[in-house]
Structure 1
Amino acid sequence: MQGKAPSQQSVRTQVYLGIDVSKARLDVFIHPLGRMLAVSNDTGGLKRLKKAVADCDVALVVMEATGKFHRLAHRFLHDSGFRVAVVNPARSRKFADAVGALAKTDAIDARVLAILGESLRPDAAPPAPEILESLQELTRGRDAAVENRTAVLNQIGASKTAPLIRELKRQLRALETAIANLEAEIRRRIDADPALARRFEILTSIPGVAPCAAVALIAGVIELGQLSAKEIAMIVGLAPVADDSGQRRGTRAIRGGRAHVRAALYMPANSAARHNPDLKAFYDRLIASGKKPKVAITAVMRKLAILANTLVGQNRLWEPHHA
C-alpha cells in the first residue's frame, strides 16, 4: 500500500531514579537504563540532573533521609514536578541485604534506591515547609542539649574532685542557658505563624500535654490532623504489631515509628493517667484487667496521639465533655 509513511512518535522510557546524597555530591542511578551520573549537591548540579533525564518519564525519585543534605534536592525536584520519596536509611539497607547487595559504595547505594523505588513504590511526599524544617532543627538541638545536661548532672553526682565539680557546674549553667534560649526561639517562631500557634494552643489544651510535648508533635508529625487513628499510631510507633506464625500467636508489641515523638509523649501519658479523667479511667481499667503498667502507659500514649490528631483535624480545643 502506497502513501505517507507513519510518523515516528518518540516514546519516553519510564525510569526510577535512585539518589545517594552526600554533602557535596549526588550519585544518581537511572533504572532500568543502567545509566549513572554524579552531580554537585547544589542548584547547578540539580539543573544538570534535570536536563539529563529530560528524555525520560521519571516515575519516582528515591533518596535517603540525611538530616539536612537531602533537603535541597528534595525541594528542587518536587518543585520541578518530580515525585520524590524520602526513605529511612535502615529500610534501604535491609532492602539491599534482601537483594544481595552486600557491598556498600555510593554507586551501589544509588542503584539499590532506584530498584527499591520500582519494587516497593514508597509514597512520595512534598518537602516540609521551611518553618517546620527550622523548628525540627531547633527541636533536635534542644533535645541534644537536654541529653547533655542529664549527662553532666550524672557526672556531678558521681564526682568527688572539687575542680572537676566546678567545671561541670559551669558546663551545666551553659547548657541550661542554651536550653532556655532554644525554647524561647521555638516559641517565638510558633507564635509568629498563626497556623502553628493555633495547633500549639490545641495541643496544650489537652490535660498533661506540656509545651515541650506539643512542640515535639508539631515538629515531628507534620501530617498531624490529616491521618486516621491507625495511621497516627503507626507513624509514632505506638501501634501493636502482630507476631504470629502458624498456630502460634505471639505477643503484640510496638516497634518502629518516630522514636523522638514517642519519647516526648511518655511523660504526658504518665501525667494524663493521673489527672485526665477519661485517660485515668482508661489506665485504671487496663491495670484492673491485668495489664502491666508499662503496657497500660503505652496504651495511654497511643490514646494521646490519636486525641491530638483528632483535635487538630477538627480545629478545636480539648473539653471535658464534647457534644
Structure 2
Amino acid sequence: MSDVPCFVGIDVAKAQLDIAVRPSGERWSVPNDAAGVVTLVERLQALCPTLIVLEATGGLERIATVALATVGLPVVVVNPRQARDFARATGQLAKTDALDARALAHFADVIRPTPRPLPDAQTQQLRALLGRRQQLIGMRTAEQNRFAGTSGRLAEDIEAHIAWLNTRIASLDDDLETRLRASPLWRENDDLLQSVPGIGPVCARTLLLELPALGTLTRQQIAALVGVAPLNCDSGTMRGKRTIWGGRAHVRTVLYMGTLVATRFNPQIKAFYQRLLAAGKLKKVALTACMHKLLTILNAMLKHRTSWKAQEVQN
C-alpha cells in the first residue's frame, strides 16, 4: 500500500462509468452494470484510494455507490452543481465524460468532502416509495391541468387516469404508513413530528426520509441544509438583501406547505407570523422566517426527544 494519497473521480452515465485517478492520471471506463461494477470495485480495492467522489445522477450512481461502500471504500456522492462550479473555477470549461471524471478526482483532492454512511436497506426502500409518490403527484397535477381544457372522450380518458393515479397514491401512502409504523424508532419520530400543529403525515415522512440529519445538527446547520438560512450579499458599504438559496428543494417545498398551515393553527408560529407582518415584513419574507423557526423547533424536538408543547418551545 502506497503512502501517497489517491483520489478517484467517477463520472456516471446510463451505460458507462468513466474513472479518473489523481495524482497518477490513470483513466479507464467500465459498463454501468453489475459486471462492470464488480470490475470497478476490484480495481479500486487494489488502489486503496483516500477518497472516491461521484455526482448524483438521479439514481444511476446508486449501484456503484452501494457496491463501493459495502466493501468499505470511502465514497461520497456530491451535488452536480457543486462539482461543475468547481470545474469552471479551475478553468475547465469543456465537458466530456472523461473530463468530468478528472474534475471529480481533482474535487476530491482539493475539497475532500467527508464520507457519510449510506442509509440502511429499509430507509432506501422507504425513500424509493416516497420518490415514486412524488412522481405520481406530478403526473396527477399534469393531468389535472390538461383536464381543464378538454372535453368529450379525451376528458373521460384523463378523468379515468386521474382516478387511477389517486388509487395508486393512496396505496403508496398505506404502504409507507405500514412500513414506518413497523419500526419503533421510525414510529416514535413520526409521532414526535406530527405532534406539531401544521405537520401532517406527508410533511413528517418527507422530513424523516429526505432529511435524516434532522435532530443531529445545530439550528444553523439544519437551516443551511434545507435552504432556509438567510444569506448575506454585502460588499464594502453596500448592504444587500438577505436571500435564501440552495438546499434540498423538495424538503423546502413540503416544509413551506406545513408552515402555511402552521401560521393558521400553530399558536406559536401564528403569533410569530403576525408579529413579523405588523413590523412591516412582506408576507413571503415572514413565511420564510416562519419556515426557519418551525424547522428549528422540529430539529430541537428530535434532538431532545420531546413532543410539542407550545408553551415550552423557546423563541
User: Cα distance 1:19–1:155, how it changes in 2: closer, same or farther (>3 A)?
Assistant: same
Q: TM-score, normalised by structure 2?
A: 0.93
Q: Indicate the residue corresponding to 2:131 in structure 1.
A: 140
TM-aligned CA deviation for residue 154 of structure 1: 2.3
Match of residue 26, structure 2, among 35, 43, 48 = 35
Determine if the alignment matches structure 1 residue 150 to structure 2 residue 141: yes
Maintained 8 Å contact 1:84/1:126: no
Q: Deviations over 1:262-297 (max 9, x none)?
A: 000112111111111111111111111111111111
Q: Indicate the residue corresponding to 1:16 in structure 2.
A: 7
Q: Indicate the residue corresponding to 1:97 in structure 2.
A: 88
Q: Deviations over 1:102-121 (max 9, x none)?
A: 22222111100000111112
Q: Indicate the residue corresponding to 2:230 in structure 1.
A: 240
Larger Rg: 1
Match of residue 153, structure 2, among 163, 170, 177 = 163
TM-aligned CA deviation for residue 77 of structure 1: 2.0
SS in 2 for 1:61: strand
TM-aligned CA deviation for residue 56 of structure 1: 4.1
Q: TM-score, normalised by structure 1?
A: 0.91
- The equivalences for 1:1-323 within 5 A come to 11-42=2-33, 44-54=35-45, 56-159=47-150, 161-322=151-312
SS in 2 for 1:67: coil
Maintained 8 Å contact 1:71/1:127: no
SS in 1 for 2:6: strand
User: Cα distance 1:42–1:126, how it changes in 2: closer, same or farther (>3 A)?
Assistant: farther
How far apart are the structure 2 equivalents of 1:13 and 1:311?
45
TM-aligned CA deviation for residue 148 of structure 1: 2.0
In structure 1, stretches of 5+ residues that fail to align are 1-9
Identity %: 39
Name the count of aligned residue pairs: 313
How far apart are the structure 2 equivalents of 1:102 and 1:267?
39
Report the aligned-residue RMSD.
1.8
SS in 2 for 1:209: coil
Maintained 8 Å contact 1:61/1:84: yes
